[in-house]
Amino acid sequence: MIRVVLVEPEGEYNVGFVARLCRNFDVEQLYIVNPRCDLRSALNFAAHGKEALLKAQVVDTLSQALEGVDLKMATSSDADNPGDILRLSIPPWTAAEVGRGKRTALIFGRESVGLTREEISMADFLLHIPASKEYPVLNLSHAVSILLYEFRREANRDQRNVNAESLSLLDKYVRLLYEQVKGRSVDERAYIVTKRVIFRGVRTEAEARTLMRLMRKLYLKLEGVWR
């Protein structure tokens, strides 16, 4: 299940086009955070996606728009700065693999300035569409269409089979291990990177459970040594 989240969209035409895309790709959940445009005017650009826009959830904060999902994926045209952990990104096809079979929120920022660092930090992953390095900024609705296509294509493939509960438990153990070792030349970046690597790489339920057993043993071992 995909949820499209638009944060403070500024153009009626983009909102209308995104609603149309939701209809094109069978996306049933469209959330709009604190819109900066007239949503009634956006209906003029929605074509057969008017119903998606009329059913859209309009909320005040991004936190509200992210309630009830398993994975949160932010998007940005500014990514992969080696010195900035928040800007380490994955491409659309990898995002689709990671999000397969899960309740996934795709978060899109303002047309003018995108998402803030605080908003990006609320996501599990940062997505970046590899366009021209000289001009990587895509129109909002174009970016939405590319990601929805990748997720639809992945949904038609039979590859990944890990339930959301297992991923949640994995995240829990990664966090517990991080809490044990933080301050020992380990900071929040280590937790973020470890979590992203695990979520990208785990392909089956058996792999997830094997990792959980290992992490649980490591956690108990560290707790016994350092306490």
Q: Note the pLDDT tens digit of each residue in 61-98.
A: 999 999 999 999 999 988 766 666 777 788 999 999 88
Confidence of residue 120 (pLDDT cuts 50, 70, 90): very high
Q: Where are the beta strands (DSSP E) in the chain?
A: 2-7, 29-33, 57-59, 71-75, 104-108, 125-127
How many residues does this entry show for the chain?
227
3-class secondary-structure state, position 79: coil
pLDDT of residue 82: 62
